[in-house]
Structure 1
Amino acid sequence: MKAVTWQGRRNISVDNVPDPQLQEPTDAIVRITSTAICGSDLHLYEVLSPYMDRGDILGHEPMGIVEEVGSEVTNIKAGDRVVIPFNISCGHCFMCSRGLQSQCETTQVHEQSTGASLFGFSELYGSVPGGQAEFLRVPHANYGPVKVGHDLPDERYLYLSDILPTAWQGVKYADVPDGGTLAVYGLGPVGQFAARIGKHLGYRVIGIEPVPERRAMAQRHGVETIDFTKDLGEELRSMTGGRGPDSIVDAVGLEAHNSPVGAFAQNAVGLLPDALAQKAMDVAGVDRLSALHSAVDAVRRGGTISLSGVYGGTASPMPLKTMFDKQIQFRMGQCNVRSWTDELLPLVEDPSDPLGVTDLVTHEVSIDEAPIAYKTFQKKQDGCIKVILKP
């Protein structure tokens, strides 16, 4: 089969690799019909490359048609159409039973002291082959796959794999008071959905984004937008009665703009041999923190900051004095996808499309064009906001 494989920093290719096979009685094989490039994939493309091995199959936002199931899989069958959550969870362990599927004790990666295994996301999360391919082996298929109908196009359902529940969790974690103001840092795919979800839930939403095309997309959905500037905190306070937003979703993460120190650290680590680079990331501050530090400055006293963006440095410095003084609450973590899919499925199937799932993709290309699409997405060229690959 064809698959998108990692070959080195900023170097991916489309290769012919062996088709996946059932390995456990709880597995399923899914023929992929659509799969997306996520902002997290760009971290593997660049900053987190020390955790990748040549030939790793990328991708964690897939959906498709079930081809084959193991003997113990009873909830789906061949011919069913399914969306595959990016985290692999069993559904019955201590963590899953508490709605923390991203911490699934059955699939935790103990060698890296990390949470549940993820599709296509490096040795940090289990080195499980990803979904940017023609076929995908899905472990724990009795629980993970979300069965959907056959009538609506893929774009209605695909984002249930990751970015839509990630945005939903981010807004829920932000604990916005009724009628309150939510600021969303970063209007990439997750930020776009977080802003739309905020509007859907009745909040005032302000999106912060340096790229004009992304601001324009958010404005189509009633979101106020501003550029990311050095006076951003003052601007947000002036828009909110002098206090600042009640809540902030940081949908940017470790590769934020305007973070020269973090950018230098990331580039320096990227030049080291993998073993030394991994050690450096374990003990150093390698995140670009401009967005997060700005959020700490801007959120009102007693407000909440919700982190949906991925951070990777263990020793990244934080302004604890300010955080303590302002009594800021933080919530964060990988999305617990299966905790939210039952709430979200009716919204994506609603003919009125209240979350605007049909207005996100800017580039739909063949899987053969994945190397070019990665470059375009990373460099934010050609108005690129979301890329869908068709195997």
Structure 2
Amino acid sequence: MRALTWHGKHDVRVDTVPDPEIVNPRDAIIKITSTAICGSDLHLYDGYIPTMKAGDILGHEFMGEVVETGPKSTLQKGQRVVVPFTIACGQCFHCGKQQFSACDNSNPADNMDIAQELYGQPFAGLFGYSHMTGGYAGGQAEYVRVPFSDVGPIVIPDGLDDDEVLFLSDILPTGWMGAENADIEPGDTVAVWGCGPVGLFAVQSAFLMGAERVIAIDHFPHRLELAKKFGAETINFEESKTYEALMAMTGGIGPDACIDCVGLEAHGLFGDNIIDQIKVSTFLGTDRIHAIRQAILACRKGGRVSMPAVYGGFVDKFPLGAFMEKGLTLKTGQTHVQRYLPGLLNAIAEKKIDTTFLISHRMPLERAADGYKMFHDQQNEATKIVLKPGMVEA
């Protein structure tokens, strides 16, 4: 089959690789019909995530048709399914608490030591996202093996097309959980850093959860315009000072809740960010954390901070004193996708949540390398790129 493979920083290629096979009784094989490039994939593209190996198949946002099942899979051939990016067994302590991204059994033993050394404990396996998260082949391919297929995939009813439901695989539940972790109360003012896909879904979700005002922060004009369509007020951090603008917009109190949807590759010519960039480029640091620093400083006293954004390593200049003195709470984590799928699928079917607005480009899988470069270099115009195996361009 054909699949997008990683070969180093800014080097991804569509190669011919072996077809996936059933390995365990609960496996299924999915023929991919749609797969998307995620902002988190750019962390791999930029070389920030460790334990990648040449030839690894990328991709963790995908859906398709069931073509083969193991004897203990609950799926049936011919069903259309969306597959969560988090792989979970459904039977361990954490899965029992619906903490699916903390699953104890989906990250193979020979990879668990890596995560344990870096983070204290291993976490769930993820599709197409390094050997630290299990080394699983991803879904930017013609076919993919899905472990624990009786737990993860959700069957899509007739009448919903791929574009409407594809983002159930990651970014929609991630934006939703980001808003949920902010403990939004009716009448709240919520600030969202980053108007990428997760940030835009966090904006939608915050309003659905009762926020009175949502303030979206970015520097890409088109993405800020998309946030405005959902009723958000906006701050372009290249034109205004974010902290000062938030204080002015909230009467000097600060937002009730702040959501960081930026993560470890924060943009902007800010003093702290420039220092972070120097440290990253000289291997003295790993993450650029300007967004979460700013969220903590801007959040009102007694407020809540949510961090669905991805961070990978150790950081400095973290405003721990401000965090403590202001009495803030912080919730974060990889998304427990399986927990949210039924409710979000119903919301899509009932037209309460729109997802299709986000798609800016559709490309054949064979052009995946071009798609990565475009998504990396043209973030104002390329809001979301969907890859279609077998697609023929006009």
1:101 aligns with 2:115: no
CA distance in 2, matches of 1:50, 1:7: 13
CA contact 2:305–2:331 (8 Å) conserved in 1 = yes
Which residue identity lines up with residue 184 of structure 1 in the other structure? V
Secondary structure at the counterpart of residue 181 of structure 2: helix
Q: For residue 50 of structure 1, report the CA deviation from its aligned partner.
A: 4.0
| CA offsets 1:114-149 (integer angstroms, 9 cap, x no match) | 310000001120110000000000000111111111
Secondary structure at the counterpart of residue 170 of structure 1: helix
CA distance in 2, matches of 1:191, 1:62: 20
Q: For residue 20 of structure 1, report the CA deviation from its aligned partner.
A: 0.2
Q: Which 10-residue stretch deviates more, 48-57 or 141-150?
A: 48-57
CA distance in 2, matches of 1:58, 1:67: 21
CA contact 2:228–2:234 (8 Å) conserved in 1 = yes
Residue in 2 aligned with 1:212? 221
CA distance in 2, matches of 1:44, 1:102: 19
TM-score of the superposed pair, with normalisation by structure 2: 0.92
| CA offsets 1:254-308 (integer angstroms, 9 cap, x no match) | 0001222222222233xxxxxxxxxxxxxx6421111111111111000011001
Residue in 2 aligned with 1:156? 164
CA contact 1:285–1:317 (8 Å) conserved in 2 = no
CA distance in 1, matches of 2:316, 2:199: 23
CA contact 1:8–1:49 (8 Å) conserved in 2 = no
CA contact 1:27–1:137 (8 Å) conserved in 2 = yes
Name which of 175, 180, 191 aligns with 1:183: 191
Q: For residue 99 of structure 1, report the CA deviation from its aligned partner.
A: 1.0
CA distance in 1, matches of 2:358, 2:88: 27
| CA offsets 1:79-118 (integer angstroms, 9 cap, x no match) | 0110000010011110001010000011145222231000
Residue in 2 aligned with 1:277? none
Secondary structure at the counterpart of residue 295 of structure 2: helix
CA contact 2:184–2:209 (8 Å) conserved in 1 = no
Residue in 2 aligned with 1:339? 339
Residue in 1 aligned with 2:33? 33
CA contact 2:50–2:132 (8 Å) conserved in 1 = no
Residue in 1 aligned with 2:124? 116
Which residue identity lines up with residue 236 of structure 2 in the other structure? D
CA contact 2:185–2:210 (8 Å) conserved in 1 = no
CA distance in 2, matches of 1:211, 1:347: 28
Which residue identity lines up with residue 206 of structure 2 in the other structure? G
Residue in 2 aligned with 1:293? 293
Give the 5 Å matches for 1:1-391.
1-48=1-48, 50-73=50-73, 75-108=74-107, 109-112=111-114, 113=116, 114-203=122-211, 204-229=213-238, 231-258=241-268, 259-269=273-283, 285-350=285-350, 353-381=351-379, 383-391=381-389
CA contact 1:287–1:316 (8 Å) conserved in 2 = no
Which residue identity lines up with residue 333 of structure 2 in the other structure? G
CA distance in 2, matches of 1:319, 1:47: 27
Residue in 1 aligned with 2:392? none
Q: Which 10-residue stretch deviates more, 295-304 or 376-385?
A: 376-385
CA contact 1:84–1:144 (8 Å) conserved in 2 = yes
Which residue identity lines up with residue 165 of structure 1 in the other structure? P
Q: For residue 241 of structure 1, report the CA deviation from its aligned partner.
A: 2.0
Which residue identity lines up with residue 88 of structure 2 in the other structure? S
Distance 1:71 1:367, change over 3 A: same
CA distance in 1, matches of 2:359, 2:337: 21
CA distance in 1, matches of 2:98, 2:91: 10
CA RMSD, Structure 1 to Structure 2 (Å): 1.3
Secondary structure at the counterpart of residue 95 of structure 1: helix
TM-score of the superposed pair, with normalisation by structure 1: 0.93
Which residue identity lines up with residue 143 of structure 1 in the other structure? V
Distance 1:183 1:381, change over 3 A: closer
Q: For residue 216 of structure 1, report the CA deviation from its aligned partner.
A: 0.9
Aligned residue pairs total 374
Q: For residue 196 of structure 1, report the CA deviation from its aligned partner.
A: 0.9
CA distance in 2, matches of 1:134, 1:165: 24
Runs of 5+ consecutive residues of structure 2 not aligned to the other structure: 117-121, 390-394
| CA offsets 1:36-86 (integer angstroms, 9 cap, x no match) | 00011000011325421110000000100000100111x211001100000
Which residue identity lines up with residue 253 of structure 1 in the other structure? G
Which residue identity lines up with residue 233 of structure 1 in the other structure? Y
Runs in 1 of length 4+ with deviation above 3 angstroms?
none
Residue in 2 aligned with 1:281? none
Runs of 5+ consecutive residues of structure 1 not aligned to the other structure: 270-283
Distance 1:222 1:382, change over 3 A: closer
